[in-house]
Amino acid sequence: MTDTTTRDALIAAARDAASRAYAPYSGFHVGAALLLKNGDIVTGANVENASYGLTLCAETAAVAKIANEGWIGELTAVAIIGGRPDGAVLTGSDPVHPCGRCRQILNEAAERSRADIMVHCASGDGHAVKSYRLSELLPASFGPKDLGLIG
């Protein structure tokens, strides 16, 4: 379980990442922050494309970063925040949950990390946070264990 201080630091990192979203089409800025076992935080933000379906979600961008660094087996928790910016302020009162594809992408890193990771979902205004285990968000998952990669 991520403690409250750690959770809040993760959400703050996700909020900072959201300020670097490239989202000119939806105007919806999402930030994700991944907590590694050594305490490091790695972030990502959504990257949209004129060919809308090619958009990369924040969580996917962040998992790609840790995979490329060789840290896919080091994940312990994630925070996600999303909303529409009003100047420098992110708005929105409902927690943003990871999309279905991102749940699967997160599951790859979680299984490799041998951890049922915590997923903290925050609203843009920061007032609402819901926390889950990934297994709640993606029950009966398919992953590396099914292909014999996890002992």
| H-run or E-run covering 9 | helix 4-18
- Tell me the closest approach of the beta carbon of residue 48 to ligand THU, in angstroms: 5
Residue 62 engages ligand THU in binding (rule: CB under 6 A): no
**The tokens 């949209």 sit on which residue?**
48
Residues counted in the chain: 151
Count other Cβ atoms within 10 Å, centred on residue 47: 16
Residue 74 engages ligand THU in binding (rule: CB under 6 A): no
- The two tokens of residue 18 are 């959201």
* Cα–Cα nearest to 28, from 75, 72, 122, 92: 92
Strands 75-86 and 118-123, sheet pairing: parallel
Provide the angle, in degrees to the nearest 10, between the axes of the packed helices 58-68 and 4-18.
Answer: 100
Residue 10 engages ligand THU in binding (rule: CB under 6 A): no
Catalytic residue among 59, 69, 108, 111: 59
Residue 33 engages ligand THU in binding (rule: CB under 6 A): no
Nearer to ligand THU, 27 or 39 (CB): 27
Residue 59 engages ligand THU in binding (rule: CB under 6 A): yes
59 given a catalytic annotation = yes
Count other Cβ atoms within 10 Å, centred on residue 129: 16
Q: What's the CA gap between 108 and 2, in Å, rounded?
A: 20
Nearer to ligand THU, 43 or 46 (CB): 46
Residue 105 engages ligand THU in binding (rule: CB under 6 A): no
- Tell me the closest approach of the beta carbon of residue 22 to ligand THU, in angstroms: 8
- Among 9, 26, 104, 115, interactor with ligand THU by CB under 6 A: 26
Active-site residues: which are they? 59
Residue ranges binding ligand THU (CB under 6 A): 23, 26, 28, 30, 46, 48, 55, 57-59, 98-99, 102
